[in-house]
Structure formats: C-alpha cells, structure tokens
A and B are shown apart, each in its own frame.
Chain A
C-alpha cells in the first residue's frame, strides 16, 4: 500500500524550517527519501534503516519511528535550492531485491 505523506504542499521563506511526514500502514524495514525538481530525475536524499542507521544528505535530517511506522524529514534553514517535490518510498520486497512504493509527494516552495 502506498505510504501517505503530509502536508501535500508547503511554502516557506528562505531560512525557515519545514517537516515532511511519511506514514505507512505496513511494518517498515526502511524509508527512502527523494527530491524531484520539475522536469528532472528524482534525486536520492536519504535512507533510514530499521535500527536507526541513516545514509544520506549532510544538511537534511530525518527520523524513523518503526513502532509508529512513520518517518519525518527535517529541512532546516531552508535554501532556495530546496524547492521541489519530496517523495518518501517504502520497500516492496521482490525476488532477490526490492523496489520502492512511493507516496504522492510533498511540494515544497522556498521563496526569497
């Protein structure tokens, strides 16, 4: 089942903070976060693994609550370049691998 993201859209002034949430009805092993700018490829930001390990971005942090089946992405002191659509992805177990089940996205606009 598709993870649910909130909010759907956020408008910030440069320097402000934002939190984007992702929740799932299924138990999670990991959560993947991507950012996509209009007309461009989704770009990897972060993986959060069960057990607390994180891999990813230096300036963006995230949390992963396994019990609540939720993850949150924290964007602090936002920059204009943070604008885009943020997607969380949860794993679809495959034969010898996995793919991602993405949410509908959160559109973030950072204004000067």
Chain B
C-alpha cells in the first residue's frame, strides 16, 4: 500500500461551480478525516468517518460541503456553489482504530489544492 492518495492534486474552478475531491485511504484503516489548510495555518478539522458512518462534522463545514464514504472505503468531499473563501488545500487522513486509550497516528495524503477564481 502506497499510503493515502488524493485526486485531483490541483483544481481551479470558477466561483459558483461545484467541485468534488476523492480520497483513497490506507486500505486497512477504518477512520478517515478531512482537513482544510490555508497558507500559514495548520490543518483544520472538517469531518470524520468511522467506516461508512460520518460521525462528526466541524462547525467550519457549511451546508455547501458534503462528504461521503460509501462502503467504508474511499471518500469524496463535494463543495457546492464554490466561493473564493473556499480556496485552500484539502487534506485527507486515515488511521486505524486503536484500543481504549491507544492513540494511533494519522497518515495524511498530499492534498487537493483548490483555487476558486
């Protein structure tokens, strides 16, 4: 397994268009996360899946954002009616579930850089 992969790596879109990103996690990982990173900032948590269930969404995630993880494998993040403020790097990460009190590291993909013009 080569790690977490994301597609596309770069996306330029006009304001108001819809965009969809894909993330393929490490195959045995049941936890999947989406983060957003802007210049000079650390990644900000957006949403979390355990298997196919979306268990948590950040307040940062407006109604224009939706994420899915059908069958607990790959995930997609869709942004509808994009705005210039959506321009950012969208990072996907995955991890395996540890036992109680067992933190396991998250592995990040290289991200999709979105530019809204």
Residues of A within 8 A of B (CB): 2, 30, 32, 34, 39-44, 47, 49, 55-56, 87, 89, 91-92, 94-105
Contact = CB atoms under 8 A, between A and B. Distances in A.
A99 B45 contact: yes
Contact of B103 (A30, A43, A104): A30
Contacts of B108: 34, 41-43
Nearest to B42: A102
Interface of B: 4, 31, 33, 40-45, 48, 50, 55-56, 91, 97, 103, 105-111
Contact of A47 (B42, B43, B105, B110): B105
Contacts of B31: 97
Contacts of A47: 103, 105
